[in-house]
Amino acid sequence: MSYQLYVTGGYGFTERVLPSLLHPSDAVSIAQDYFSRGYQGAHIEPPPDGGYRALEQSSSSERQAILNALQSGQLVLGRLDSAAFGIFTDRTASPEHLRSDLPAPLANRLRDRWPTGAIGGPAVRSDSLHAPATQNYPLTPEPVAEPVPGQGPYSLTIEYHWPDGTGVANLPFEVGTDLESVTGVLDHRGAASVEGLNGRFATVRLGSSATDDMVRQERKAIIAGLQRLLEQERKDTEARETVYQQMPRYEKALVNTGAVFQGAYDAGIGLFDFVVGVSDLAHPTKTLMDGLKSAWSANQDNGANSWYESFNSLYDDKRRERWVRAIGFSPSDISREDIAKAYELASLIMTDAQLSAALKDFVTDYAAIQHHTEYAYIGGAIAFELVLAALLAATTLGAGNAAQASSRIRHGRILAGLGPAFGRFAEALKLQGLRKIWRDFDLNRKKRFEAEASPRPKGVDPDPVQLSTRPGKVLPRSFGEAKKLLADARNSIIANGKAPSPKYTQEQLHQIAQEGFADEKFIVRLVEEPHVHRNGPLNGTLGKEGPAGVQIWSTSFDQIAHLDTDPKLITEAMGVNYKPDARYKLAIIDQANAVKYADAETIVPTYGNLKKFVEDKLPGKVENPALTREVMTPEYSREYEALIKGMPEDAWNDPLGRARYLRQKGLSPEEVKAFDTRFSIQSNTGANEHYTGNGLTKTISSSADQPVYGAVEAFSLHKSPKTFRQMTGMDGGTQWVELVDLEPINFGA
Amino acid sequence: MAHPKLPEWPIIDPNNPPSGYLEVACVMDPELTSAPWHFYVSGNHLLIVRKKWVQFDENDPGEFVSGQYEYPIGAARWFLATLDRFFLEPDHPNAVPRGEITIEEDVDGETLGVTRGAQYGSVLKGIPGYSLDNLNRFEHTSFGPSTNWCQMFKMGDPWLFEHGLLDVFKDIAERHERGEF
């Protein structure tokens, strides 16, 4: 079907085209359709006046201007193949029959100066392949009998079905002609029959355009709800910190705050654990999600009811129970059908790009508030899980109780209050997806309107995008910021009542070890308090001294920021045995100033970096540099560890005892030379027999077969020993070290 | 770059030194308290030697083991002066150059060094310190030389700065400068 745009009163706007003109509201609707998705076999010619280009080439702003002009009556749209009489109350193109609801520019023009056939002439744009030449319309309208509603000669049938052939049931429809409008609902077969129509040209609409408004409104409401939740969470976090800070010191140490704050923090921490959990491919939750996805994918083309049935048969009850428990519900609360329905709605919701992005941002921000950690991206699967749980909360507990679901479910409670809104949004989205329109079809030619609904949306992939995304580094710019971050982390841990999950995966730790952390302002080092005050208050030095047999290197601030100021958590991450009776301090060291004022050398002690250190710094001390390379390998590390194992303490610490021990072991001169070389490297750098060579510390839970790494290390050497008085600026110099008291957190029994 | 090595200096018995060896100091490393270090002067050389009885357990018959370092006598003063350079502000013109952890210079015909090390005081406790190096001599004990690393007499910060070792070097330097030996 082809249409012609005219400038009201402009070129081609003659009496002859008046019968072809459509009412402006229809014109806007047709043009919108044309612009948004094209119109099969249709074409709209621009006004014949100069200055308009083919609409296919028009910009979005030009298209909007055309829509506005059609709405206001400055432009009109005419049908080229028939007379619509869209601006008249009768099939007579005369001033007496003008509709009263026409826009002023059009009505005024017509009333004040009725167009004549002499103006302009036919509009011809023969350069278009699509547009037929303008036709001459009969100036005299055909005589039509007064229509009797429901008694007309025309009829049509509608059939709407899913890809599997089952009907799209209970969908509202509307049939409109120039003379009437008929509404109804598709039956259980997705079918309807309309008879007795008076208008020959019919527009058939499946679904209601009102769903557009509903989708917009619910989306807006949900996004606003997410913002409110974030604001509330920020306030709650601050309030909890205030309460904790106001506690007497002894209470802070004694209270099992996990019990006090458990409810408030559980969701956030649970979410974090969940993020880590689903990152592990072997995690049972992911396996269960895979099962859901599989069941969904297998039935993507199914109709509404058969999908539930198929899902029930594929998703066995044992799986349901495990999954329901995994997300925090009781299995008795939720049936497989509940899951199927909620899964469908949640999948629909995640197809909405705008809301899906908002949900992912929400989850990321929410986790960041809880953990003061920058997550680049947490991933769609987590957002999907939360929406799913919220829908289930609303379904199983009732819309009114969904918001109070917090005591019963873990992750889902975060969004439980929005469950009903999610439900409404998804239903509207579902209806919107089913909308279909056939416009202005000649009922003499087509009576059967049949269509197939789009397949269901794909299920959300349970792999969180976050899997390959490393959490952002925590990079304080000042000592004050660093201390605040530690205090914040402490409060979060206290509130949760348990230690945080590792910030980085093992793979990410290896990656950071390769990169180093020259980009970080602060590194930290654990110091036992007596060493800080050795030789007088703050007269101790950084170099002194770790527990026997254990090398304490430094690590970056980012590595321990989430561990707060608990010495036990920090020692565990650094692979050091925690001494309950000891008092620890954390020295935060400004790397740049350590270089400036102490010419500090700081490297991540990988095999490669330490080899380079010895070769670059001590070139003249060794006869055979190749030997350094030979002993700084995993193979020799095993030999070294074996030689040291069982070495008496006197031999280990005393060079004379060591020399005799090696002789007793029957080592060849070359083997002794290799040992001495490796030992010298330890003496120069601290790379002891536990040194891993990959720049990472093993945690105390490591075993020989299964090392678990806790943090990326930093080997740091100061050219001269500086006292803490000097480093902390107490002697009047620049402060480049801050000492933070470490207080154990009592997690209770 | 490896430096040419001098023939091994025989290890002396500090309890029964050969003639011509003058003991100028005897000090205990606080981290190695089983036997002291003896400082001897012989001719134009300063020797630092330690001898101890090593017996790991009751089944071990045990034996004496000795270790020794040899430097030109000027090493005492040079060590003090060079150590000071590590304590200068990093941008001071006489400071150890930025990025370096050792200074090596010719002293009375032998190449000596002072080096900063992370565990020179104790590998067991991780005590940092400094070493006095002779790049023309291999490390050696009574079992013979270890022919890769040069001699590096390692001293922990506490021993040097709190337990008087620095004063021992000063005393030796001053006495040598006064012509006592």
Question: Residue A3's pLDDT band (boundaries 50, 70, 90)?
Answer: confident
Q: Do B32 and A597 touch (CB under 8 A)?
A: no
Place of tokens 């993020």: A275
Question: Residue A123's pLDDT band (boundaries 50, 70, 90)?
Answer: very low
Whether B6 and chain A come into contact, CB under 8 Å, resolves to no
Question: Residue B111's pLDDT band (boundaries 50, 70, 90)?
Answer: very high
The C-alpha angle with vertex B49 and arms to B47 and B53, in degrees rounded to 5, equals 170
pLDDT of residue A405: 47
What value does the mean pLDDT of chain A take?
75
Give the helix/strand (H/E) hosting B27: strand B22-29
For residue B50, is pLDDT > 60?
Answer: yes
Write the burial class of residue A697 (CB in 10 Å: 0-12 exposed, 13-18 middle, 19+ buried). Answer: buried
- Parallel, antiparallel or unpaired: strands A522-528 and A172-176: unpaired
Question: Residue A465's pLDDT band (boundaries 50, 70, 90)?
Answer: very low
Taking the C-alpha atoms of residue A567 and residue A580, their distance in angstroms, rounded to an integer, is: 9
Give the helix/strand (H/E) hosting A266: helix A257-279
pLDDT of residue A250: 47
Asked whether A698 and A692 are in contact (CB, 8 A), the reply is yes
Taking the C-alpha atoms of residue A366 and residue A230, their distance in angstroms, rounded to an integer, is: 6
Nearest residue of B to residue A618 by CA position?
Answer: B102
For residue A366, is pLDDT > 80?
Answer: no
Phi, psi of A87 (to 5 degrees): -105, 10
pLDDT of residue B126: 81
Kindly report, residue by residue over A525-568, the tens digit of the pLDDT. 888 877 777 777 777 776 544 444 444 578 888 888 877 777 88
As a whole number, mean pLDDT of residues A118-146 equals 43
For the CA atoms of B13, B19, B20, B22, the dihedral, rounded to the nearest 10 degrees, stands at: 50
Tell me how far apart the terminal alpha carbons of chain A are, to the nearest angstrom. 79
Give the predicted TM-score (pTM) of the model.
Answer: 0.53
Q: How many CB atoms lie within 10 A of CB A210?
A: 12
Please report the number of interchain residue pairs, chain A to chain B, with beta-carbon separation below 8 angstroms.
166
Within 558-617 of A, beta carbons closer than 8 Å to B belong to 596-599, 601, 617
Helices (H) and strands (E) in chain A, counts: 28, 17
From the list B90, B123, B146, the residue facing A672 with the nearest CB is B146
Whether A665 and chain B come into contact, CB under 8 Å, resolves to no
Give the helix/strand (H/E) hosting A313: helix A304-314
pLDDT of residue A463: 45
Whether B90 and chain A come into contact, CB under 8 Å, resolves to yes
Write the burial class of residue A494 (CB in 10 Å: 0-12 exposed, 13-18 middle, 19+ buried). Answer: buried
Q: How many CB atoms lie within 10 A of CB B60?
A: 12
For residue A467, is pLDDT > 60?
Answer: no
Taking the C-alpha atoms of residue B15 and residue B66, their distance in angstroms, rounded to an integer, is: 11
ipTM: 0.94
Taking the C-alpha atoms of residue A96 and residue A80, their distance in angstroms, rounded to an integer, is: 24
pLDDT of residue A361: 77
> Rg of chain A over CA atoms, in angstroms?
38
Give the helix/strand (H/E) hosting A494: helix A479-496
From the list B65, B104, B115, the residue facing A656 with the nearest CB is B65
Kindly report, residue by residue over B7-47, the tens digit of the pLDDT. 999 999 999 999 999 999 999 999 999 999 999 999 999 99
Q: Which two tokens stand for residue A451?
A: 């269509």
Q: How many CB atoms lie within 10 A of CB A27?
A: 28
pLDDT of residue B138: 95
Using a CB-CB distance cutoff of 8 angstroms, which residues of chain A are in contact with residue B125?
544-546, 548
What value does the mean pLDDT of chain B take?
94
Q: Does domain A154-208+435-452 have CATH number 2.60.120.560?
A: no
Q: How many CB atoms lie within 10 A of CB B181?
A: 15
Kindly report, residue by residue over A218-250, the tens digit of the pLDDT. 888 888 888 888 888 777 767 766 665 665 544
Helix boundaries (H) for A74-141:
104-112
Taking the C-alpha atoms of residue A273 and residue A258, their distance in angstroms, rounded to an integer, is: 16
For residue A691, is pLDDT > 70?
Answer: yes
Asked whether A370 and A271 are in contact (CB, 8 A), the reply is yes
From residue A77, alpha-carbon distances to A44, A125, A202, A524, A633 in Å are: 9, 15, 18, 74, 82
Query: Residue A584 forms beta bridges with which residues?
Result: A528
Kindly report, residue by residue over A294-308, the tens digit of the pLDDT. 666 666 666 655 656
Sequence spans of domains, chain A: 2-112, 154-208+435-452, 244-432, 476-603+720-741, 621-689
Using a CB-CB distance cutoff of 8 angstroms, which residues of chain A are in contact with residue B146?
672-673, 676
Asked whether A586 and A570 are in contact (CB, 8 A), the reply is yes
Q: Do B148 and A543 touch (CB under 8 A)?
A: no
Taking the C-alpha atoms of residue A44 and residue A26, their distance in angstroms, rounded to an integer, is: 14
Taking the C-alpha atoms of residue B166 and residue A107, their distance in angstroms, rounded to an integer, is: 108
Asked whether A373 and A562 are in contact (CB, 8 A), the reply is yes
For residue A386, is pLDDT > 80?
Answer: no
From the list A656, A663, A717, the residue facing B67 with the nearest CB is A656
pLDDT of residue A728: 92
- Parallel, antiparallel or unpaired: strands A448-452 and A191-197: unpaired
